Chains A and B, each alone.
Chain A
Amino acid sequence: MAILFFFYFAGVIVLTSILVVTLRNPIYSVLSLLIMFFHVAGLYVTLEAEFLAAVQIIVYAGAILVLYLFVVMLLNVKREERYHSQFPLAALLGITILTEVLMLAFLRGFSSEAPAVAPAVGDSAQPGEAIAGTGNTETIGEALYSTYLFPFEVASLILLVAMIGAIVLAKKKVGEGEA
């Protein structure tokens, strides 16, 4: 069974990765990337790394991909026309999803003492084992802050470099107030 899931996820990952680079429409490319991220998360679940799966979805699918989409849409203003024909369908789906989200939120709100305990982790990735994620997360946290403390801090330096580097390269005025 595990092998079956592995090959399903791996197959879809390969397929969508190829689509990302072969599709001509950048929006479709980005959306294939989204599907790929979800399947990578699935792969993590089969490895019982629920925390990673959740992080994968929240960080990659949630944050990074939305940023990609923004950039692609900003760069291809002219192509926008092409999507207008889908407006009714998009609106319909959007409203449906919004309703569902609101309903879920309200139902949850009425029935709950639970959510503080059950982390979002298990929920999004594997509904059956909501609690199983807790131990997982703790283990990762402990490893990061004890055994792998040094590489962890190096990673934070890398982020610092990336941040300042982006600012230095994108800043408008060059060498203002020159010596």
Chain B
Amino acid sequence: MTLPLADILAILPELIVVAAACLVLGLDPITPAPRKQWLAWLSVASLLLCFGLTSLQLDERVMAFSDLVIIDPYACFWKLLLYAVTVLTILMSLAYLKEEKIHLAEYYGFLLLALSGMMIMVSAADLLTIYLGTELMSLSLYVLAGFKRAEGRSLEAAAKYFVLGAFSSGILLYGISLLYGLAGSTRLSAIAMSVATRRLDDPALLLAMILLVVGFGFKIAVVPFHMWTPDVYEGSPTSVTAFMAVASKAASFGAFMRVFLEGLGGLKANWHVLLLVVCVATLVLGNVVAIVQTNIKRMLAYSSIAHAGYALIGMVVAGQAGAEGAVRSLGLASVMLYLAVYAFMTLGAFTVVAMLRKGGLEGDEIEDFTGLSKRQPVAAFLMLVFMVSLAGIPPTAGFIGKFYLFMAAVQAGLAWLAVVALLFAAVSAYYYLRVVMVMYMREPQASARLEPRLAASPVTAVVLACAVAGVILLGLYPGPLVALTNQAVLALK
């Protein structure tokens, strides 16, 4: 059997990422300790190479490996986003891991392997391949969550994430197996054809659809499948939390939307209702429970749940049966836009959190931010920008993201949903601005025995500069990104 060169070329970015991961893992034992960070730079270099390659593929539409893999603008959009997120995560990790004394080269290897899983998820045209990509991503993340092995919370996070993740994978797989039984194939195109010829109230089909919603719902952390999120986000090393909150959510959304719009597009009247309920529940619970959190990582965990709820609005619009094609495409494009914007602001916020130290530990209580504006005006201002953007206040990118989502909802005749989301965006302003209030309005307590300090480094400054530039520039001038998302949407049937 020979491999066509075209197939290899199509998955060249994936191959490079995997090769870089293996290289990092292999070079680790023979690299002297002071030079370990060269491995991080190696990872970054490989990702920049992939970024260039994927940009070249942006206009193509190729199927490879007997139609199991698809390279289309949609997949390339997610890949570009994922590269950017991974590069920023690696850069922010350098200083953080040294502070935590867990600077191991395996960390970068696992980040790259998780990334390769995500890339497979977003560019697979086959349920089995998507499932394997999901597993590759999840397994790497389980290990990364438990990387701070000296700390009980981190191990607890890894164990919880592993058990619940394995359970949800089982549910996902059950849904996939039912669909395979009905369609006789795991390819999305074959499933779409089979769904088209079938009665839509077929109980097995509906059950399969519901199981898939549950499985993906767990990965993107929407209510009621969100229970793991706060504990895992709180316990994991902060850089890993940022990666999970941004990259794994983006990749899961990418795969989720492809499966439901391309594979189960014929069932949209059914899953539309289901997602509507999930979406509203997520908006309500995520935003309300975030108010009472005192730990900033837990608060950001609930905030990430709420943001998944906002993004779901776009997917609900894309599944609106009565709406015009253009409106549904707008819904899909606005999800992509929103997650890109969300990536920058969340990464920025987590980078500030990771920098804040109290003694030898992380300062991850909201109280630790008290009076930060007096001691570290720049960091406090950056955090202010990220919080304002997360709350969705202009002129930041968070506002643009929400604006496009709400506009799509209104155009699809779901004005009430936009109103509900707007109300809860107002609720969210309360807990985001509370952090700002603590930083700017309260005096630092002189009596505090362990004064929180910032562990800043030039590389971290670069990450923060990128994040804040993303938040402000996309807020003022979103045109290019909007054009890119419009170019990259899936063709809706």
Interface residues, chain A, with chain B CB atoms under 8 Å away? 145-151, 154-155, 157-158, 160-162, 164-165, 168-169, 174-175, 177-179
Contacts and interface: CB of A to CB of B under 8 A. Distances in A.
Contacts of A150: 11, 64-65, 68-69, 129
A146 B1 CA distance: 7
Interface stretch (B33-41, B225-233, B286-294, B319-327): B33-41
B143 A179 contact: no
Contacts of B116: 157
Given A148-B68, A154-B133, A165-B142, A179 B102 contact: no
A151 B68 CA distance: 8
30 contacts: A147-B68, A148-B68, A149-B3, A149-B65, A150-B68, A151-B68, A151-B126, A154-B133, A155-B132, A157-B136, A158-B132, A160-B113, A161-B110, A161-B113, A161-B136, A164-B25, A164-B110, A165-B142, A168-B106, A168-B143, A169-B146, A169-B149, A174-B101, A174-B149, A174-B150, A175-B103, A178-B103, A179-B36, A179-B37, A179-B98
B68 A164 contact: no
Contact of A165 (B11, B103, B139, B150): B139
A165 B66 contact: no
Given A150-B68, A150-B129, A154-B133, A162 B139 contact: yes
Contacts of B69: 150
A177 B104 CA distance: 10
Interface of B: 1, 3, 11, 18, 25, 33-37, 64-66, 68-69, 98, 101-104, 106, 109-110, 113, 116-117, 120, 126, 128-129, 132-133, 135-136, 139-140, 142-143, 146-147, 149-150, 158
A157 B143 contact: no
B140 A165 contact: yes
Contacts of B117: 154, 157
A147 B64 CA distance: 10
Top-3 shortest CB links A-B: A165-B143, A150-B65, A177-B33
A158 B129 contact: no
A151 B129 contact: yes
A167 B75 CA distance: 33
A174 B101 CA distance: 8
Contacts of A161: 110, 113, 136, 139-140, 143
Given A161-B136, A165-B139, A165-B142, A178 B33 contact: yes
B135 to A, nearest CB: 5
A125 to B, nearest CB: 22
Nearest to A146: B1
A68 to B, nearest CB: 16
Given A174-B149, A179-B34, 9 more contacts: A149-B65, A154-B132, A155-B132, A164-B25, A164-B110, A168-B104, A169-B158, A174-B101, A175-B102
A43 to B, nearest CB: 13
A164 B106 contact: yes
Nearest to B155: A169
Contacts of A145: 1
A154 B37 contact: no
A135 to B, nearest CB: 19
B36 A157 contact: no
Contacts of B36: 179
A168 B106 CA distance: 8
Nearest to B101: A175
A146 B147 CA distance: 37
Contacts of A179: 33-37, 98, 103
B153 to A, nearest CB: 15
A175 B104 contact: yes
Contacts of A178: 33, 98, 101, 103
B268 to A, nearest CB: 27
B128 A151 contact: yes
A158 B142 CA distance: 12
Contacts of B142: 165
Contacts of A175: 101-104
Contact of B18 (A157, A162, A169, A174): A157
Contacts of A165: 110, 139-140, 142-143
B68 A169 contact: no
Contacts of B98: 178-179
B113 A157 contact: yes
Given A148-B68, A175-B103, A154 B143 contact: no
Contacts of B120: 154
Given A165-B142, A169-B158, A154 B129 contact: yes
A157 B11 CA distance: 15
Contacts of B139: 158, 161-162, 165
Nearest to A165: B143
A103 B481 CA distance: 75
Tell me which of A162, A178, A179 has the highest count of chain B C-beta atoms within 10 A of its own C-beta: A179
Nearest to B106: A168
Contact of A146 (B25, B66, B106, B136): B66
B65 A154 contact: no
A109 B465 CA distance: 75
Nearest to B158: A169
A147 to B, nearest CB: 5
Contact of B102 (A151, A162, A174): A174
A169 B143 contact: yes
B186 to A, nearest CB: 9
Contacts of B143: 161, 164-165, 168-169
Nearest to A155: B132
Nearest to B149: A174
A165 B41 CA distance: 22
Contacts of B140: 161, 165
A21 B29 CA distance: 43
Contacts of A157: 18, 113, 116-117, 136
A162 B142 CA distance: 10
